[in-house]
Amino acid sequence: MCGRYASARDKHQLLEEFQVEQDADPEKELGADYNVAPTKNVYAVLSRVPKDAERAVRQLRVVKWGLVPAWAKDPSVGSRMINARAETLAEKPSYRKAFAKRRCLLPADGYYEWMPVEGDKKKQPYFIHPSDGGVLAMAGLYEFWKDPNRADDDPLKWLVTCTVITTDAEDELGRIHDRMPMMIERERWGEWLDPKVTDTEQAQRLLVPAQPGRLTAHPVGTDVNNVRNNGPGLVEPLPEEGESALF
Protein backbone atom coordinates (compact mmCIF):
# COMPACT_ATOMS: atom_id res chain seq x y z
CA MET A 1 0.00 0.00 0.00
CA CYS A 2 0.97 3.66 -0.17
CA GLY A 3 0.06 5.29 3.12
CA ARG A 4 2.55 8.14 3.36
CA TYR A 5 4.38 10.31 0.85
CA ALA A 6 6.27 13.58 0.43
CA SER A 7 5.10 16.50 -1.71
CA ALA A 8 7.34 19.55 -1.33
CA ARG A 9 7.05 21.29 -4.71
CA ASP A 10 5.13 24.55 -4.54
CA LYS A 11 2.06 25.31 -6.62
CA HIS A 12 3.94 27.35 -9.22
CA GLN A 13 6.34 24.48 -9.86
CA LEU A 14 3.49 22.01 -10.28
CA LEU A 15 1.56 24.30 -12.63
CA GLU A 16 4.63 24.40 -14.88
CA GLU A 17 5.72 20.77 -14.47
CA PHE A 18 2.32 19.39 -15.42
CA GLN A 19 1.52 22.10 -18.01
CA VAL A 20 -1.66 23.01 -16.13
CA GLU A 21 -4.05 25.40 -17.87
CA GLN A 22 -6.26 26.27 -14.91
CA ASP A 23 -5.63 26.70 -11.20
CA ALA A 24 -8.96 25.34 -9.95
CA ASP A 25 -8.33 26.51 -6.37
CA PRO A 26 -6.49 29.84 -6.72
CA GLU A 27 -7.23 30.80 -3.13
CA LYS A 28 -5.67 27.61 -1.75
CA GLU A 29 -1.94 26.90 -1.58
CA LEU A 30 -0.52 23.93 0.28
CA GLY A 31 2.83 24.19 2.02
CA ALA A 32 5.67 21.73 1.51
CA ASP A 33 4.65 18.49 3.20
CA TYR A 34 7.21 15.75 3.84
CA ASN A 35 4.74 13.58 5.71
CA VAL A 36 1.54 13.49 3.68
CA ALA A 37 -0.93 11.18 5.41
CA PRO A 38 -4.46 9.97 4.65
CA THR A 39 -7.26 12.56 5.08
CA LYS A 40 -4.85 15.44 4.40
CA ASN A 41 -5.43 17.86 1.55
CA VAL A 42 -3.16 17.19 -1.44
CA TYR A 43 -2.66 18.48 -4.96
CA ALA A 44 -4.19 16.56 -7.86
CA VAL A 45 -3.81 17.15 -11.60
CA LEU A 46 -6.94 16.33 -13.58
CA SER A 47 -8.73 17.27 -16.81
CA ARG A 48 -12.37 18.35 -17.00
CA VAL A 49 -14.55 19.79 -19.72
CA PRO A 50 -15.90 23.16 -18.51
CA LYS A 51 -19.56 23.97 -19.07
CA ASP A 52 -20.25 24.98 -22.68
CA ALA A 53 -16.65 24.13 -23.65
CA GLU A 54 -15.61 21.74 -26.40
CA ARG A 55 -12.45 20.30 -24.88
CA ALA A 56 -11.06 19.25 -21.54
CA VAL A 57 -8.90 21.68 -19.57
CA ARG A 58 -6.03 20.45 -17.42
CA GLN A 59 -6.47 21.65 -13.83
CA LEU A 60 -4.58 21.65 -10.56
CA ARG A 61 -6.99 21.10 -7.70
CA VAL A 62 -6.77 20.65 -3.93
CA VAL A 63 -8.46 17.38 -2.89
CA LYS A 64 -8.67 15.24 0.22
CA TRP A 65 -6.76 11.94 0.29
CA GLY A 66 -9.21 9.10 0.88
CA LEU A 67 -11.82 8.52 -1.83
CA VAL A 68 -15.48 8.98 -0.94
CA PRO A 69 -17.76 7.42 -3.61
CA ALA A 70 -20.65 9.59 -4.77
CA TRP A 71 -23.12 7.07 -3.30
CA ALA A 72 -21.52 6.99 0.18
CA LYS A 73 -23.79 7.99 3.06
CA ASP A 74 -20.91 9.10 5.26
CA PRO A 75 -17.64 10.71 4.09
CA SER A 76 -15.73 8.92 6.84
CA VAL A 77 -15.46 5.89 4.52
CA GLY A 78 -12.72 7.78 2.72
CA SER A 79 -10.17 6.96 5.41
CA ARG A 80 -10.44 3.31 4.31
CA MET A 81 -10.08 4.06 0.60
CA ILE A 82 -6.66 5.66 0.35
CA ASN A 83 -5.43 3.01 -2.12
CA ALA A 84 -7.06 1.22 -5.05
CA ARG A 85 -5.51 -1.95 -6.46
CA ALA A 86 -4.77 -1.62 -10.18
CA GLU A 87 -5.82 -5.24 -10.74
CA THR A 88 -9.46 -4.67 -9.68
CA LEU A 89 -10.23 -1.05 -10.62
CA ALA A 90 -12.78 -1.99 -13.27
CA GLU A 91 -14.61 -4.37 -10.92
CA LYS A 92 -14.88 -2.68 -7.53
CA PRO A 93 -18.07 -0.58 -7.14
CA SER A 94 -16.10 2.04 -5.20
CA TYR A 95 -13.71 2.70 -8.08
CA ARG A 96 -15.06 1.53 -11.44
CA LYS A 97 -16.96 4.73 -12.37
CA ALA A 98 -14.05 6.94 -11.36
CA PHE A 99 -11.67 4.68 -13.31
CA ALA A 100 -13.77 5.21 -16.42
CA LYS A 101 -14.19 8.98 -16.12
CA ARG A 102 -12.25 10.58 -13.26
CA ARG A 103 -8.56 9.73 -13.38
CA CYS A 104 -5.90 12.03 -11.99
CA LEU A 105 -2.20 12.39 -11.24
CA LEU A 106 -0.99 12.91 -7.69
CA PRO A 107 2.37 14.72 -7.68
CA ALA A 108 4.94 13.50 -5.16
CA ASP A 109 8.66 13.71 -4.51
CA GLY A 110 8.60 10.14 -3.27
CA TYR A 111 6.80 7.84 -0.86
CA TYR A 112 7.58 5.87 2.29
CA GLU A 113 7.38 2.17 2.99
CA TRP A 114 8.35 0.17 6.06
CA MET A 115 10.40 -3.02 5.87
CA PRO A 116 10.37 -5.62 8.65
CA VAL A 117 13.72 -5.99 10.41
CA GLU A 118 14.76 -9.57 11.08
CA GLY A 119 14.75 -10.33 14.79
CA ASP A 120 13.13 -7.00 15.66
CA LYS A 121 9.50 -6.02 16.11
CA LYS A 122 10.21 -2.59 14.71
CA LYS A 123 10.17 -1.78 10.99
CA GLN A 124 12.71 0.31 9.11
CA PRO A 125 11.19 3.17 7.05
CA TYR A 126 12.53 3.81 3.54
CA PHE A 127 12.04 6.79 1.27
CA ILE A 128 11.47 5.69 -2.33
CA HIS A 129 11.81 8.28 -5.07
CA PRO A 130 12.69 8.78 -8.76
CA SER A 131 16.40 8.14 -9.27
CA ASP A 132 16.70 11.23 -11.47
CA GLY A 133 15.23 13.52 -8.80
CA GLY A 134 12.20 14.30 -10.94
CA VAL A 135 8.57 14.39 -9.97
CA LEU A 136 6.72 11.15 -9.20
CA ALA A 137 3.33 11.26 -10.95
CA MET A 138 1.26 8.71 -9.04
CA ALA A 139 -1.83 7.38 -10.79
CA GLY A 140 -4.99 8.26 -8.93
CA LEU A 141 -8.77 8.51 -9.11
CA TYR A 142 -10.94 11.34 -7.84
CA GLU A 143 -14.58 11.71 -6.89
CA PHE A 144 -17.13 14.41 -5.99
CA TRP A 145 -19.33 13.80 -2.95
CA LYS A 146 -22.38 15.95 -2.26
CA ASP A 147 -23.19 16.64 1.39
CA PRO A 148 -26.99 16.29 1.72
CA ASN A 149 -26.97 18.27 4.99
CA ARG A 150 -25.57 21.49 3.47
CA ALA A 151 -27.35 24.17 1.46
CA ASP A 152 -26.70 24.30 -2.28
CA ASP A 153 -24.88 27.64 -1.96
CA ASP A 154 -22.61 26.36 0.84
CA PRO A 155 -18.98 26.29 -0.42
CA LEU A 156 -18.51 23.06 1.56
CA LYS A 157 -21.43 21.36 -0.21
CA TRP A 158 -19.06 19.38 -2.44
CA LEU A 159 -16.15 17.31 -1.16
CA VAL A 160 -13.48 16.29 -3.69
CA THR A 161 -11.44 13.23 -2.72
CA CYS A 162 -8.81 10.95 -4.25
CA THR A 163 -7.15 7.57 -3.97
CA VAL A 164 -3.70 6.31 -5.02
CA ILE A 165 -3.62 3.36 -7.43
CA THR A 166 -1.17 0.64 -6.39
CA THR A 167 0.47 -2.31 -8.13
CA ASP A 168 2.95 -5.10 -7.41
CA ALA A 169 6.36 -3.72 -6.51
CA GLU A 170 9.19 -4.39 -8.94
CA ASP A 171 11.83 -6.84 -7.74
CA GLU A 172 14.21 -4.55 -5.85
CA LEU A 173 11.48 -2.43 -4.25
CA GLY A 174 9.55 -5.60 -3.46
CA ARG A 175 12.20 -6.37 -0.86
CA ILE A 176 10.85 -3.44 1.13
CA HIS A 177 7.13 -3.88 0.48
CA ASP A 178 5.16 -5.98 -2.01
CA ARG A 179 3.03 -3.05 -3.26
CA MET A 180 3.92 0.35 -4.68
CA PRO A 181 2.10 3.34 -6.20
CA MET A 182 1.45 3.06 -9.92
CA MET A 183 3.40 5.70 -11.84
CA ILE A 184 2.22 7.32 -15.05
CA GLU A 185 5.10 8.30 -17.32
CA ARG A 186 5.04 11.77 -18.87
CA GLU A 187 4.23 10.57 -22.39
CA ARG A 188 1.01 8.97 -21.07
CA TRP A 189 -0.20 11.89 -18.94
CA GLY A 190 -2.49 13.34 -21.59
CA GLU A 191 -4.27 10.08 -22.40
CA TRP A 192 -4.55 9.05 -18.74
CA LEU A 193 -6.19 12.36 -17.81
CA ASP A 194 -8.46 12.55 -20.86
CA PRO A 195 -12.09 12.26 -19.60
CA LYS A 196 -13.14 11.18 -23.10
CA VAL A 197 -11.20 7.95 -22.62
CA THR A 198 -14.00 5.99 -20.96
CA ASP A 199 -13.03 2.52 -22.17
CA THR A 200 -11.60 0.89 -19.03
CA GLU A 201 -9.62 -1.60 -21.11
CA GLN A 202 -7.88 1.30 -22.83
CA ALA A 203 -7.26 3.00 -19.47
CA GLN A 204 -5.94 -0.28 -18.03
CA ARG A 205 -3.32 -0.46 -20.80
CA LEU A 206 -1.91 2.87 -19.59
CA LEU A 207 -1.10 1.34 -16.21
CA VAL A 208 2.44 0.12 -16.81
CA PRO A 209 4.57 -0.60 -13.69
CA ALA A 210 7.78 1.39 -13.30
CA GLN A 211 10.81 -0.05 -15.04
CA PRO A 212 13.52 -1.49 -12.75
CA GLY A 213 15.93 1.27 -11.80
CA ARG A 214 13.37 4.05 -12.35
CA LEU A 215 13.06 4.41 -8.58
CA THR A 216 15.61 4.20 -5.82
CA ALA A 217 15.34 3.93 -2.05
CA HIS A 218 17.26 4.73 1.11
CA PRO A 219 16.57 4.19 4.80
CA VAL A 220 15.36 7.18 6.80
CA GLY A 221 14.85 7.91 10.47
CA THR A 222 11.81 6.77 12.41
CA ASP A 223 10.57 10.35 12.91
CA VAL A 224 8.40 9.78 9.84
CA ASN A 225 6.40 7.23 11.85
CA ASN A 226 4.63 10.10 13.62
CA VAL A 227 2.40 12.17 11.29
CA ARG A 228 2.99 15.23 13.48
CA ASN A 229 6.65 15.28 12.42
CA ASN A 230 7.43 17.13 9.23
CA GLY A 231 10.26 18.84 7.38
CA PRO A 232 12.99 17.95 4.86
CA GLY A 233 14.93 16.00 7.49
CA LEU A 234 12.40 13.16 7.15
CA VAL A 235 13.71 12.23 3.70
CA GLU A 236 17.40 12.50 4.55
CA PRO A 237 19.28 9.16 4.32
CA LEU A 238 20.45 7.53 7.51
CA PRO A 239 24.25 7.44 7.93
CA GLU A 240 25.64 4.47 6.04
CA GLU A 241 27.40 3.18 9.13
CA GLY A 242 25.50 0.19 10.38
CA GLU A 243 23.23 0.17 7.35
CA SER A 244 23.77 -2.31 4.55
CA ALA A 245 23.11 -0.92 1.08
CA LEU A 246 19.84 -2.21 -0.29
CA PHE A 247 20.39 -1.15 -3.87
At 64, is the secondary structure helix, strand, or coil? strand
Nearest to 112 by CA among 246, 209, 31, 225: 225
> Which regions of 66-203 does DSSP assign to beta strands (E)?
83-85, 103-108, 110-116, 123-130, 136-146, 158-168, 179-181
Is 108 in contact with 82 (CB distance < 8 Å)? no
Quote the Cα angle for 133-176-64, to 5°. Answer: 65
In the annotation, is 2 catalytic? yes
Is 88 in contact with 182 (CB distance < 8 Å)? no
Q: Which residue in the list 104, 113, 143, 162 is annotated as catalytic? A: 113
Chain length of the chain: 247
At 83, is the secondary structure helix, strand, or coil? strand
In the annotation, is 162 catalytic? no
Identity of residue 246: L
Whole-angstrom distance, CA of residue 13 vs CA of residue 73:
37
Q: Which residue in the list 2, 104, 143, 162 is annotated as catalytic? A: 2
Integer angstrom CA distances of residue 127 from 33, 119, 153, 222, 239: 14, 22, 43, 11, 14
Catalytic residue set = 2, 113
